[in-house]
Every structure is written in C-alpha cells, then in structure tokens.
Structure 1
Amino acid sequence: MARYAAKLMDDGSITVDAPTSAFPPSGFFTLFHPKKEGCKPYSFHKYVEQAPYTKDHFAIKKEEENANWTCLIAATGKDGEVLDDRKFSLPHLGLPSLGKKGLSVYPDRDGNDRKSLGVGFPTDKEILDTVFVVPGLEIPLSATPEEPNLRCRMYRNKYPDVEETVVVLVKRIDVMGVYVSLVEYDDTEGMILLSELSRRRIRSVKKLINVGRQEVALVLRVDKDKGYIDLSKRRVSPEDVEKIEEKFNKSKSAHSIMRNLATTQKRDVEDLYDSFGWELGEECGHLLDAFKRLLSDPTILDKYCMSEDVKKALLRNVEMRLTPQPVKVRSDFEVTCFAYEGIDAIKAALLEGVKCGTEMNPISVRLIAPPLYVMTCNTLDQDVGIKLLEGALEKVKDEIIKRNGEMAIKMKPTAVGAEEEAALAKALEDAQRANMEVEGDDDEEEDED
C-alpha cells in the first residue's frame, strides 16, 4: 500500500500529500511513524476502528502550496467544538504510550534522531507531522519480519491496577524482599517486601518462597513514572489464588494464539493486539472466550476490517487449537445373574444402559471375560460423558436387581488415554484368543469320542 506524508493544520485537520482519488469514498485510514532504531514504528488503529472516514471528511485545500493535497477535516458539532470521536489530537491517537524513552529518540521525517541534533521533546504538532497516512486499515508488517517482536503484555493496561491480583515469577531474593516479574504484564519487575510474604513470623525466606516458582500476589502500589510495583503475598486469599490461576491460564492460552499469529504473519504481536485483540477481548469478556466464539461465528471479526490473510490465519489457528477433541470415558463392571433368566437378564440390563446414550454421545458395552464388562462413551465434554455413564450404570444396576441379579463396579467412569485404550484392546484380544482355544478343545474332544 502507498504511504503519504501527513501534516497537522492549525484548525485541527490533517492534510495528506495525495489527491482525493487515492482514498476510497469511505473506509479507514492508518497512521504510521517511520522506523528508527530504538523507536517502534507506531500504527494507530484505535482511531480508525472507532471512526471510519467518509467523503464528507475530505476537501481540497486551495490555499496550500500543493492544491492536490487531501484534507481530512476534523468534524465539529453545533457549537463548533471538535467531536471527541473525530479529534486528530495526541491523546486520541495513543501517542502517550510511547513514554519518555520513546519520545527522547523520536526521529524527524528524514529519520534523524532529535536527541542527537540537540532538539528537545517535540510538540504534539511536530510528532504528528512525522507520520505517514495509508488509505485503508493495515496491520503493518514487522520491521524485522523474520523475527517479529513477540513481547507484549496480556492486557490493554501497561500496568496492573492497585488491589489487582496477578501472577508473578520469582526472580531473586534480596535482603529487602523478593524481586519478581509480572508474567501477565510483559515481565515488568515488581517487589514483595519481606513483611508482605507471610502472616506468620518468617524464620527462613527460602523455605517460604523459591526462585523460579510462580506465585500469586496482590498489587499494593504502582508508580508508573518510576516503574515501581509493590506487591503482597500474605494478603492473597485461597479464593483469590483459584480465580487468578483460572484467569491466567485463559490469558496464557489466548496469548499463545496471538504470538503464533504474529510469527506466521510476520507482525509484531502488540500491533495485532492494538488492531483487534484488546477490543475483541473486552467485547466478549475475555479474548479466549472470543476465540471460542469464532469457531461458530467468525463474523465477529468483520468490524475490524483486518486483511484476509491475517483473518484466515487467525481462524485456522483458533480452529486447530480450540476445536474440542473427542474424549473416551470408560467404566469396568461385573454383572451376574443365577436366576432362571440368566444371560437374558444380563442382556436386558446392559441394553438399558446402552439406551442412555445419545446421538452425539453414544454408549457401547463389550464383554472382556465373564462376568466383567466395559462400558465406553466418546464425547467432546469429559464431564458430560462421565455423568452419562453414571446414569447408564444406574439403569443397568436397577434392571439386573429387578431380575434377581447383581452388579459390582470395578472402575468408576473415568476419562482414559492411549495407554488405557491399548491395555483394553490387549485384554479383549486375549479374551477372544482364549475363547477360540476353548472352542478348539471342544472340537478335539468330540473327534476323540
């Protein structure tokens, strides 16, 4: 896609060094900053997602030196004030996320480092004057496509909120406290003071906490300017631990999908989050929940106008990772009946259990060796399969008791893996071989008579 130089005018509009014919009648535009070592080539997706332009936002600036420049007009309300969703201002474009370090190396349009030129921090207007405009929404390729930047926090906020519970990784133990990295926030460093490690008297810190171990901690203070984060381990309740671990596991799964997408599509992972990840997660409650919705409703991505290659790669990745895999649930049990009905009673009881199966979760019963049987069910939901087999076993038990027989469960309904399946197959094969040998003996005895 072609990129055009932009300039912020005093009236709040943006002029673009391109004719209006370069822009479709309506759609989106993306702003980029030129790449400079140590400074990210920022793209500002949030604005274009919220407020696509239309032909009403274009005009020709006749008074400019270049009469063919396109002007994206800042729309105003009845009182003449610029509408919030149309402000081409620094806060709305998200530039403050650069931070002081980013601004200090901010280059001019030619790529010259302002700091090396002895120039101070740029003004809002000077910053915006260094960006380029691309007609259409574009998630930029990484500046290093072969090794895109995969480092990024898991949530929109750069730092956690006070009183938020987070997962941390213990890095080192010091005389003042324990230094940790906040796993969900791009390994930002934090500290747990010794007084916040435990409610009890601490005799040995190393017996209480180990380097390399993940812990759950509560955020006490956040100094965004200095980057200090103080945490507490002793103020975390067992209920908090369970909830945050569940949230962390979901975030880690979603983050893994985003990192994989960034690798295969050669985009920086933060650009993917900026363009659709943060907003999609907020819309569905959590990004992983949004990915699960994609399995049945991929149209929820339509509003983000991402390129087809990125969209197809995301859907393929989600389908591969999140499509439920069939699980086999198994239970072993013995059924006997020495009453007159005998084998007919056992067959009738087993049939009652098989009837509990459904089209999606069928139940089957096989004989291992009298009186031992195995009941199995293939299901996409392990819990559903277990409950289904429990109900089926109850039916078998009720029916066989009604017919003066007995039933004993040898193995409760359990999800089984490849090893258990192999053992079952071998047991069935041995039983079949034994039956064949018995039948052969009978034939030989008849011949001798």
Structure 2
Amino acid sequence: MVRRREKLPEVGWLVIGTVDKVFEYGAYLRLDEYNNMPAFLPWSELSSKWVRNIRDIVKEGQKVVVKVIRVDRRKGHVDVSLKRVSEGERRRKILEWKRAQKADKILEIVAKKIGKTIDDAYNEVGWKLEEVYGEIYKGFEEAVVKGAEVLKKAGVPDEWIEPLLNELKKHIEVKKIKIQYVLSVRSLSGDGVHRVKKLLCELYPEEEDKEIKVRIYTAGPPRYILEVVSTNFKKAEALTNSLLKRAERLAKKLNVEFAYQRVK
C-alpha cells in the first residue's frame, strides 16, 4: 500500500482519496496515502457548477484527486476540495500515484526476498531515496541508469543493493532520447584524411558520462553521423552543442570544411 512519510497532509497538498460514504451534504473519503485516514469533502467543494445530485459527481468506491483545504492536527481531521483541483494537477497527481504504486510493489518484492518487512523497506530504502531524489521512483530510475552508486549515495544498506538493482532492471525501462546530426567533413590538403580523422576524434567528450553515449559513424565520405543517446534530454542537448562548437573551432585550425545539419 502506498504510503507517505508524513502522518498528516499539509493544506494545499494534492492527495488521492477513495470515496467511502456519500451524503446529501458531502462525502467522506479514505486517504490512500495516509493509512486510509478519513477526510471530509463538503458539498460546497464538489464542483464550481451547480449540482442537482451529489452522486453525479462522486460515488462510493471511486478514487479522486482532491486538494487539502483544512487540517486539524489535534483532532486529526482533514477537509478536502474537489473543485479546486485543475485538470493538469489531477493528471500530475495520478502519474505520481502510479509511480508510487510501482515503487511500493518493488520494495515489497525485494523485502520478501531478503527477509525484511515493508516497514524495513521504507525506513532503510524508500525514505532515504525520497530525501535525496525527491521521489522513491525517481531514485529507482537513477539507479537503473547509474548503478549502485545512486543507492549508496542515499545511504541504502549494502544488503539491499544487489537484490534491489536486479529487481529494478526487471520493472523499469528508462526512456532514452536520440539526437542525430549529419556532418559534412572534407579537406583538400595532402594529409586531408588525417585531418578529417583528427576532427572526428575530437568530437568525442573528454570525460565519460554514464548517462550519455556518443557515437560517430560514416554515411559515406564526406558525410558522417553524430549520434548522442541519453536519458537526460537537457544534458544531451548541451553536450551536443558543445561538441559541435568545439569541432567548428578545430575545423578552422585544421583548414577543414565542416558543416552540420540536425536529423529531424
């Protein structure tokens, strides 16, 4: 079951609720992320439009995204609103919820394999990843790309690392983006072949980055393909632009004709 570290949500937070009981004056929900804590959804917070029948909006058993509008910490009471949630907020929260469900399931599987409880899983792994990466699932994605170092950085105990990485590879496939440029590189000098090779070699990054792979291959001289593959679009764009600018500078020094065009 998906859980949150906090015992109570804060005012303004988006939460997932399951409609428990519907009355003429409102509805009671169970907050899925907070151990099924009850919350009240007043009639006035159902919709910005006039509603004839409350059941036209919510029904028992329905899951809804609501916004917290009041919290009584002493009594443990929470009031929520449905009408104050925009469509964009609703979509983002549902995506966050689905990712949290996947993370919870992975933690449960690994915990059973190493003889731990789900509480152990959250205390020793989940909350530590959330603290460093903002979200447990985000930490999992980082671990799939970068390996054990991500888990160690967050303080995950060694006994979890190998079985967790093995399980993550079964469940998480991080999407990669590909940037391609067609390069035109030629030289009329006597040692032109050497100059072209030197320029192409300089297109490779000076430092290795596990998140980014750079490949250069021929499409039939003088045309070559520069291919940059990464899980991080911004980093890939920045690196590609940097490599092309460096190649332009070197082309002038080597007296090599250099041009490039992005593949759409």
Q: What's the TM-score bracket when you normalise by the shorter of the two chains?
A: 0.5 to 0.7
Distance 1:399 1:228, change over 3 A: same
Match of 1:184 among 33, 43, 49: 33
For residue 220 of structure 1, report the CA deviation from its aligned partner. 1.7
> Could you list the runs of 5+ residues in structure 1 that have no partner in the other structure?
1-150, 302-310, 412-449
Following the alignment from structure 1 to structure 2, what is the Cα–Cα distance between the partners of residues 153 and 162?
Answer: 15
Match of 2:164 among 312, 315, 318: 318
Distance 1:187 1:347, change over 3 A: farther
* Counterpart secondary structure, 1:255: helix
Tell whether 2:5 aligns with 1:155: yes
- Give the partner amino acid of 1:295: L
For residue 351 of structure 1, report the CA deviation from its aligned partner. 1.6
Following the alignment from structure 2 to structure 1, what is the Cα–Cα distance between the partners of residues 221 and 62?
Answer: 53
Aligned residues: 246
Aligned ranges 1:282-431 → 2 under 5 Å: 288=136, 295-296=151-152, 301=157, 312=159, 314-320=160-166, 330-336=178-184, 340=188, 344=192, 347=196, 350-351=199-200, 354-360=203-209, 363-369=214-220, 373-377=224-228, 383-397=234-248, 403-411=256-264
Match of 2:68 among 208, 212, 218: 218
Following the alignment from structure 1 to structure 2, what is the Cα–Cα distance between the partners of residues 338 and 353?
Answer: 15
Following the alignment from structure 1 to structure 2, what is the Cα–Cα distance between the partners of residues 265 and 189?
Answer: 34
TM-score, normalised with respect to structure 1: 0.39
Contact residue 17 and residue 63 of structure 2 kept, 8 A: yes
Following the alignment from structure 1 to structure 2, what is the Cα–Cα distance between the partners of residues 385 and 257?
Answer: 29
Contact residue 2 and residue 101 of structure 2 kept, 8 A: no
Among all aligned residue pairs of Structure 1 and Structure 2, give the percentage whose two residues are the same amino acid: 15
Q: Which has the higher contact order (CA 8 A, sep 6+)?
A: 2
Contact residue 218 and residue 233 of structure 1 kept, 8 A: no
Contact residue 21 and residue 27 of structure 2 kept, 8 A: yes
* Counterpart secondary structure, 1:358: coil
Following the alignment from structure 1 to structure 2, what is the Cα–Cα distance between the partners of residues 404 and 207?
Answer: 69
Following the alignment from structure 1 to structure 2, what is the Cα–Cα distance between the partners of residues 296 and 379?
Answer: 23
* Counterpart secondary structure, 2:166: helix
Following the alignment from structure 1 to structure 2, what is the Cα–Cα distance between the partners of residues 373 and 380?
Answer: 23
Distance 1:338 1:173, change over 3 A: farther
For residue 243 of structure 1, report the CA deviation from its aligned partner. 9.2
Distance 1:362 1:403, change over 3 A: same
Following the alignment from structure 2 to structure 1, what is the Cα–Cα distance between the partners of residues 186 and 150?
Answer: 56
Distance 1:328 1:354, change over 3 A: farther
TM-score, normalised with respect to structure 2: 0.59
Contact residue 397 and residue 407 of structure 1 kept, 8 A: no
Contact residue 192 and residue 231 of structure 1 kept, 8 A: yes
RMSD across aligned positions (CA): 5.4
- Structure whose CA Rg is larger: 1
Following the alignment from structure 1 to structure 2, what is the Cα–Cα distance between the partners of residues 268 and 334?
Answer: 53
Aligned ranges 1:32-181 → 2 under 5 Å: 151=1, 153-155=3-5, 157=7, 160-163=8-11, 165-169=13-17, 171=19, 174=22, 175-177=24-26, 180-181=29-30
> Could you list the runs of 5+ residues in structure 2 that have no partner in the other structure?
144-148
More strand by share: 2
